Protein backbone atom coordinates (compact mmCIF):
# COMPACT_ATOMS: atom_id res chain seq x y z
CA UNK A 1 0.00 0.00 0.00
CA UNK A 2 1.38 3.40 -0.98
CA UNK A 3 2.09 5.90 1.79
CA UNK A 4 0.10 9.12 1.91
CA UNK A 5 1.90 12.24 0.69
CA UNK A 6 0.92 15.67 2.00
CA UNK A 7 1.36 17.71 -1.19
CA UNK A 8 0.73 21.02 0.55
CA UNK A 9 3.45 20.21 3.07
CA UNK A 10 5.94 19.49 0.28
CA UNK A 11 5.15 22.83 -1.35
CA UNK A 12 5.73 24.60 1.96
CA UNK A 13 8.96 22.77 2.83
CA UNK A 14 10.76 22.77 -0.51
CA UNK A 15 11.59 26.21 -1.96
CA UNK A 16 10.96 26.60 -5.67
CA UNK A 17 14.55 27.82 -6.01
CA UNK A 18 15.67 24.25 -5.35
CA UNK A 19 13.92 23.13 -8.55
CA UNK A 20 15.51 25.99 -10.50
CA UNK A 21 18.94 24.82 -9.37
CA UNK A 22 18.18 21.13 -9.90
CA UNK A 23 17.07 21.69 -13.50
CA UNK A 24 19.79 24.23 -14.23
CA UNK A 25 17.32 26.87 -15.40
CA UNK A 26 19.81 29.54 -16.27
CA UNK A 27 19.81 33.21 -17.20
CA UNK A 28 17.24 34.34 -14.63
CA UNK A 29 17.70 37.93 -13.49
CA UNK A 30 16.59 39.44 -10.23
CA UNK A 31 13.60 41.77 -10.46
CA UNK A 32 12.93 43.39 -7.13
CA UNK A 33 13.53 41.73 -3.79
CA UNK A 34 11.88 38.36 -4.38
CA UNK A 35 11.33 37.99 -8.11
CA UNK A 36 13.29 36.41 -10.93
CA UNK A 37 12.66 36.79 -14.66
CA UNK A 38 13.99 35.15 -17.78
CA UNK A 39 13.33 32.77 -20.64
CA UNK A 40 10.71 30.10 -20.05
CA UNK A 41 12.23 26.59 -19.92
CA UNK A 42 8.90 24.97 -20.83
CA UNK A 43 8.30 26.21 -24.38
CA UNK A 44 11.75 26.42 -25.95
CA UNK A 45 12.57 29.68 -24.17
CA UNK A 46 10.61 32.03 -26.40
CA UNK A 47 10.51 35.55 -24.96
CA UNK A 48 13.26 36.98 -22.80
CA UNK A 49 11.16 38.07 -19.82
CA UNK A 50 8.09 35.83 -19.93
CA UNK A 51 9.09 33.41 -17.14
CA UNK A 52 8.53 34.92 -13.68
CA UNK A 53 9.38 33.32 -10.35
CA UNK A 54 8.22 34.63 -6.98
CA UNK A 55 10.82 33.27 -4.57
CA UNK A 56 8.83 34.43 -1.53
CA UNK A 57 5.53 32.83 -2.50
CA UNK A 58 7.35 29.90 -4.22
CA UNK A 59 5.31 30.07 -7.41
CA UNK A 60 6.09 30.61 -11.10
CA UNK A 61 4.21 31.81 -14.17
CA UNK A 62 4.96 32.16 -17.86
CA UNK A 63 3.08 34.93 -19.61
CA UNK A 64 3.69 33.31 -23.00
CA UNK A 65 2.67 29.65 -22.66
CA UNK A 66 0.42 30.16 -19.63
CA UNK A 67 2.13 27.57 -17.43
CA UNK A 68 2.30 28.33 -13.74
CA UNK A 69 1.87 27.13 -10.18
CA UNK A 70 3.97 25.67 -7.40
CA UNK A 71 7.22 23.73 -7.35
CA UNK A 72 5.20 20.54 -7.97
CA UNK A 73 3.63 22.02 -11.12
CA UNK A 74 7.11 22.94 -12.35
CA UNK A 75 8.46 19.45 -11.71
CA UNK A 76 5.46 17.83 -13.44
CA UNK A 77 5.88 20.09 -16.47
CA UNK A 78 9.59 19.44 -16.82
CA UNK A 79 9.55 15.72 -16.05
CA UNK A 80 6.21 14.89 -17.64
CA UNK A 81 5.31 12.97 -14.49
CA UNK A 82 2.34 12.83 -12.13
CA UNK A 83 1.73 14.75 -8.95
CA UNK A 84 2.83 11.96 -6.62
CA UNK A 85 6.11 11.38 -8.44
CA UNK A 86 6.80 15.12 -8.49
CA UNK A 87 6.23 15.31 -4.73
CA UNK A 88 8.51 12.33 -4.11
CA UNK A 89 11.29 13.89 -6.16
CA UNK A 90 10.96 17.29 -4.52
CA UNK A 91 10.90 15.74 -1.04
CA UNK A 92 14.18 13.94 -1.74
CA UNK A 93 16.01 17.17 -2.58
CA UNK A 94 17.89 19.16 -0.04
CA UNK A 95 15.70 22.05 0.94
CA UNK A 96 18.34 24.75 0.73
CA UNK A 97 17.37 27.84 -1.32
CA UNK A 98 19.85 29.11 -3.86
CA UNK A 99 21.29 32.59 -3.44
CA UNK A 100 21.17 34.30 -6.83
CA UNK A 101 23.46 36.85 -8.31
CA UNK A 102 22.51 38.84 -11.41
CA UNK A 103 22.38 37.19 -13.82
CA UNK A 104 22.08 33.74 -12.25
CA UNK A 105 24.27 31.16 -14.00
CA UNK A 106 24.30 27.77 -12.24
CA UNK A 107 27.10 25.39 -12.95
CA UNK A 108 26.72 22.02 -14.59
CA UNK A 109 25.08 20.64 -17.67
CA UNK A 110 21.84 22.28 -18.76
CA UNK A 111 18.83 20.00 -18.74
CA UNK A 112 16.80 20.01 -21.96
CA UNK A 113 13.17 20.32 -20.89
CA UNK A 114 10.05 19.10 -22.59
CA UNK A 115 8.09 21.54 -24.71
CA UNK A 116 4.49 22.14 -23.60
CA UNK A 117 1.97 22.90 -26.29
CA UNK A 118 0.21 26.22 -25.81
CA UNK A 119 -3.56 26.24 -26.32
CA UNK A 120 -4.52 29.65 -27.73
CA UNK A 121 -7.57 31.35 -26.31
CA UNK A 122 -10.40 32.18 -28.66
CA UNK A 123 -10.57 35.87 -29.47
CA UNK A 124 -14.35 35.96 -29.93
CA UNK A 125 -17.63 34.49 -28.76
CA UNK A 126 -20.46 33.36 -30.99
CA UNK A 127 -23.40 35.74 -30.87
CA UNK A 128 -27.05 34.88 -31.06
CA UNK A 129 -26.76 31.50 -29.33
CA UNK A 130 -30.27 30.30 -28.41
CA UNK A 131 -30.10 28.74 -24.95
CA UNK A 132 -33.85 28.04 -25.01
CA UNK A 133 -33.85 25.66 -27.98
CA UNK A 134 -36.30 22.78 -27.83
CA UNK A 135 -33.49 20.22 -28.24
CA UNK A 136 -32.18 21.16 -24.81
CA UNK A 137 -35.61 20.56 -23.35
CA UNK A 138 -35.70 17.14 -25.02
CA UNK A 139 -32.44 16.29 -23.25
CA UNK A 140 -33.84 17.55 -19.91
CA UNK A 141 -31.32 20.39 -19.71
CA UNK A 142 -32.77 23.25 -17.70
CA UNK A 143 -32.66 26.78 -19.06
CA UNK A 144 -30.51 27.94 -16.14
CA UNK A 145 -27.96 25.21 -16.87
CA UNK A 146 -27.84 26.06 -20.58
CA UNK A 147 -27.33 29.74 -19.81
CA UNK A 148 -24.62 29.02 -17.23
CA UNK A 149 -22.66 26.86 -19.69
CA UNK A 150 -23.49 28.99 -22.74
CA UNK A 151 -24.93 25.97 -24.58
CA UNK A 152 -27.45 26.63 -27.32
CA UNK A 153 -28.43 26.56 -30.97
CA UNK A 154 -26.37 28.72 -33.36
CA UNK A 155 -27.88 29.78 -36.66
CA UNK A 156 -25.08 32.10 -37.71
CA UNK A 157 -22.38 31.56 -40.34
CA UNK A 158 -19.23 29.49 -40.00
CA UNK A 159 -18.11 26.04 -38.91
CA UNK A 160 -20.86 25.70 -36.30
CA UNK A 161 -23.74 26.82 -38.53
CA UNK A 162 -27.06 25.30 -37.42
CA UNK A 163 -25.51 23.20 -34.69
CA UNK A 164 -25.93 23.14 -30.94
CA UNK A 165 -22.74 24.82 -29.74
CA UNK A 166 -20.95 23.95 -26.51
CA UNK A 167 -18.25 26.37 -25.31
CA UNK A 168 -15.04 24.69 -24.12
CA UNK A 169 -12.88 26.54 -21.59
CA UNK A 170 -9.38 25.83 -20.37
CA UNK A 171 -8.17 25.29 -16.83
CA UNK A 172 -8.38 29.05 -16.14
CA UNK A 173 -11.91 29.35 -17.52
CA UNK A 174 -10.82 31.04 -20.75
CA UNK A 175 -12.70 30.13 -23.93
CA UNK A 176 -10.55 28.03 -26.28
CA UNK A 177 -13.12 26.66 -28.71
CA UNK A 178 -16.59 25.31 -29.43
CA UNK A 179 -17.95 21.85 -30.08
CA UNK A 180 -20.97 21.70 -32.36
CA UNK A 181 -23.56 18.93 -32.14
CA UNK A 182 -25.62 18.13 -35.22
CA UNK A 183 -29.37 18.14 -34.63
CA UNK A 184 -30.47 16.78 -38.01
CA UNK A 185 -28.54 13.51 -38.12
CA UNK A 186 -25.66 14.81 -40.26
CA UNK A 187 -22.11 13.60 -39.68
CA UNK A 188 -20.00 14.16 -37.76
CA UNK A 189 -22.38 14.20 -34.84
CA UNK A 190 -19.89 16.39 -32.95
CA UNK A 191 -17.75 18.85 -34.87
CA UNK A 192 -14.60 20.48 -33.50
CA UNK A 193 -12.34 23.12 -35.05
CA UNK A 194 -9.48 21.66 -37.13
CA UNK A 195 -6.67 20.27 -34.94
CA UNK A 196 -8.54 21.21 -31.77
CA UNK A 197 -6.52 19.71 -28.85
CA UNK A 198 -9.39 18.17 -26.88
CA UNK A 199 -7.00 15.51 -25.53
CA UNK A 200 -5.30 18.30 -23.55
CA UNK A 201 -8.50 19.57 -21.96
CA UNK A 202 -11.19 18.49 -19.53
CA UNK A 203 -14.64 19.91 -20.11
CA UNK A 204 -15.90 21.94 -17.11
CA UNK A 205 -12.60 21.70 -15.21
CA UNK A 206 -12.61 25.35 -14.11
CA UNK A 207 -16.06 25.00 -12.53
CA UNK A 208 -15.10 21.72 -10.87
CA UNK A 209 -12.00 23.33 -9.35
CA UNK A 210 -14.04 26.34 -8.21
CA UNK A 211 -16.35 23.95 -6.34
CA UNK A 212 -13.51 23.55 -3.83
CA UNK A 213 -13.69 19.77 -3.49
CA UNK A 214 -10.79 17.36 -3.26
CA UNK A 215 -12.83 14.80 -5.20
CA UNK A 216 -14.22 14.87 -8.74
CA UNK A 217 -16.61 12.82 -10.87
CA UNK A 218 -15.31 11.95 -14.36
CA UNK A 219 -17.83 11.25 -17.14
CA UNK A 220 -17.51 10.76 -20.89
CA UNK A 221 -19.54 13.40 -22.67
CA UNK A 222 -20.81 16.96 -22.59
CA UNK A 223 -24.42 16.09 -21.74
CA UNK A 224 -23.32 13.62 -19.06
CA UNK A 225 -21.46 16.50 -17.44
CA UNK A 226 -24.36 18.92 -17.81
CA UNK A 227 -26.80 16.51 -16.18
CA UNK A 228 -24.53 15.65 -13.24
CA UNK A 229 -23.74 19.34 -12.67
CA UNK A 230 -27.43 20.18 -12.93
CA UNK A 231 -28.20 17.57 -10.25
CA UNK A 232 -26.05 19.60 -7.87
CA UNK A 233 -22.76 17.71 -8.14
CA UNK A 234 -20.61 20.59 -9.38
CA UNK A 235 -17.26 18.84 -9.11
CA UNK A 236 -17.62 16.99 -12.41
CA UNK A 237 -15.58 16.93 -15.63
CA UNK A 238 -15.93 15.23 -19.01
CA UNK A 239 -13.20 13.51 -21.02
CA UNK A 240 -14.97 14.36 -24.30
CA UNK A 241 -14.63 10.68 -25.17
CA UNK A 242 -13.85 7.38 -23.47
CA UNK A 243 -10.05 7.71 -23.46
CA UNK A 244 -7.78 9.40 -20.93
CA UNK A 245 -4.74 11.17 -22.34
CA UNK A 246 -1.62 12.15 -20.41
CA UNK A 247 -2.37 15.91 -20.29
CA UNK A 248 -5.83 15.11 -18.94
CA UNK A 249 -4.37 12.81 -16.31
CA UNK A 250 -2.02 15.54 -15.19
CA UNK A 251 -4.90 17.99 -14.86
CA UNK A 252 -6.89 15.54 -12.75
CA UNK A 253 -4.14 14.62 -10.31
CA UNK A 254 -3.04 18.25 -10.03
CA UNK A 255 -6.39 19.34 -8.66
CA UNK A 256 -8.02 16.32 -7.01
CA UNK A 257 -7.13 13.59 -4.53
CA UNK A 258 -10.07 11.30 -5.21
CA UNK A 259 -11.59 10.46 -8.59
CA UNK A 260 -14.88 8.71 -9.24
CA UNK A 261 -15.11 7.27 -12.75
CA UNK A 262 -18.72 7.23 -13.92
CA UNK A 263 -18.43 6.22 -17.57
CA UNK A 264 -21.23 4.81 -19.68
CA UNK A 265 -22.78 1.47 -18.76
CA UNK A 266 -21.85 -0.20 -22.05
CA UNK A 267 -18.96 -2.41 -23.10
CA UNK A 268 -16.83 0.52 -24.25
CA UNK A 269 -17.42 2.41 -21.01
CA UNK A 270 -16.57 -0.58 -18.83
CA UNK A 271 -13.40 -1.30 -20.78
CA UNK A 272 -12.40 2.35 -20.53
CA UNK A 273 -12.93 2.37 -16.75
CA UNK A 274 -10.80 -0.78 -16.39
CA UNK A 275 -8.00 0.84 -18.39
CA UNK A 276 -8.14 4.30 -16.81
CA UNK A 277 -8.48 3.41 -13.12
CA UNK A 278 -5.02 1.78 -12.73
CA UNK A 279 -3.37 4.78 -14.40
CA UNK A 280 -4.92 7.24 -11.96
CA UNK A 281 -4.32 5.16 -8.83
CA UNK A 282 -0.61 5.95 -9.04
CA UNK A 283 -1.37 9.49 -7.86
CA UNK A 284 -4.75 9.48 -6.12
CA UNK A 285 -7.56 7.25 -4.88
CA UNK A 286 -10.04 6.04 -7.49
CA UNK A 287 -13.36 4.27 -7.47
CA UNK A 288 -15.45 3.09 -10.39
CA UNK A 289 -19.19 3.72 -10.44
CA UNK A 290 -20.73 1.00 -12.58
CA UNK A 291 -24.01 2.13 -14.12
CA UNK A 292 -26.74 -0.31 -15.15
CA UNK A 293 -26.22 -1.99 -18.51
CA UNK A 294 -26.91 0.32 -21.42
CA UNK A 295 -27.37 3.45 -19.30
CA UNK A 296 -25.39 6.67 -19.21
CA UNK A 297 -25.49 9.71 -16.90
CA UNK A 298 -27.23 12.05 -19.33
CA UNK A 299 -30.19 9.65 -19.58
CA UNK A 300 -30.69 9.37 -15.82
CA UNK A 301 -33.10 11.36 -13.69
CA UNK A 302 -31.62 13.64 -11.05
CA UNK A 303 -33.19 11.50 -8.35
CA UNK A 304 -31.39 8.44 -9.70
CA UNK A 305 -28.05 10.26 -9.70
CA UNK A 306 -28.61 11.33 -6.10
CA UNK A 307 -29.44 7.76 -5.13
CA UNK A 308 -26.25 6.45 -6.74
CA UNK A 309 -24.04 8.90 -4.86
CA UNK A 310 -25.94 8.50 -1.61
CA UNK A 311 -25.45 4.73 -1.75
CA UNK A 312 -21.68 5.19 -1.90
CA UNK A 313 -21.40 6.61 1.56
CA UNK A 314 -20.59 10.17 0.56
CA UNK A 315 -17.18 9.39 -0.94
CA UNK A 316 -18.08 11.12 -4.17
CA UNK A 317 -18.36 14.91 -4.56
CA UNK A 318 -21.56 16.38 -3.17
CA UNK A 319 -23.31 19.68 -3.62
Pairing of strands 29-30, 35-38: antiparallel
Distances (CA, A) of 152 to 77, 156, 198, 292: 36, 12, 20, 30
- The reported pTM is 0.64
CA–CA gap between residue 92 and residue 6 (Å, rounded): 14
- C-alpha 265/C-alpha 293 separation (Å) is 5
Shared domain for 170 and 209, answered yes or no, is no
Question: CA 209 to CA 191: how far, in whole Å?
Answer: 27
**Looking at the predicted structure, is the pLDDT value of residue 47 above 70?**
no
Question: Confidence class of residue 112 from pLDDT cuts 50, 70 and 90?
Answer: very low
pLDDT at 100: 40
DSSP annotation string for 132-196: T-HHHHHTT--HHHHHHHT-EEE-SSSTTTTEEEEEEE-TTS-EEEEEEE-SSS-SSSEE--TT-
Ramachandran category for residue 306: left, alpha or beta (phi over 0 → left; psi -120 to 50 → alpha) = alpha
One domain for residues 218 and 305: yes
In this structure, are 175 and 216 located in the same domain? no
Q: How many domains does the chain have?
A: 3
- CATH number for 43: 3.90.580.10
Q: What is the mean pLDDT of the chain?
A: 84
Domain-embedded: residue 100: no
In this predicted structure, what is the pLDDT of residue 104? 33
* Domain boundary pick from 37, 58, 92: 92
pLDDT at 110: 29
- Domain-embedded: residue 281: yes
Does 111 fall in a domain?
no
pLDDT in tens, 249-276: 999 999 999 999 999 999 999 999 999 9
Report pLDDT digits (tens) over 238-248.
999 999 999 99
User: Is the predicted pLDDT of residue 21 greater than 90, yes or no?
Assistant: no
**Segments forming the whole domain that contains residue 272:** 205-310
Question: What is the per-residue pLDDT for 108?
Answer: 33
Integer CA distances (angstroms), 14 to 58, 59, 88, 189, 201, in order? 9, 11, 11, 48, 29
Structural domain includes residue 251: yes
Q: Are residues 216 and 184 in the same domain?
A: no
The percentage of residues in the chain with a pLDDT greater than 90, rounded to a whole number, is: 50
Q: What is the pLDDT of residue 48?
A: 65
Residue 97: its pLDDT value, please?
A: 42
Confidence band for 50, pLDDT divided at 50, 70 and 90: confident
The neighbour count for residue 181, using CB atoms within 10 Å, is 20
Amino acid sequence: METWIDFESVKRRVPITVALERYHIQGLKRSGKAHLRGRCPLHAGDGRETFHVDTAAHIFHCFSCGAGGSILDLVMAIEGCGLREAAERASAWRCQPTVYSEPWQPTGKITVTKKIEFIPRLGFRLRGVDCHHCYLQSRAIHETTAVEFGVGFYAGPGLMHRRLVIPIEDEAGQLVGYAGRALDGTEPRYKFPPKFPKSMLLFNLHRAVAAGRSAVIVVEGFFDCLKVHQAGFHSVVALMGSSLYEPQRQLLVRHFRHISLMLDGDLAGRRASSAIAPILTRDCSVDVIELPDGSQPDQMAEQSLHQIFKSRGGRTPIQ
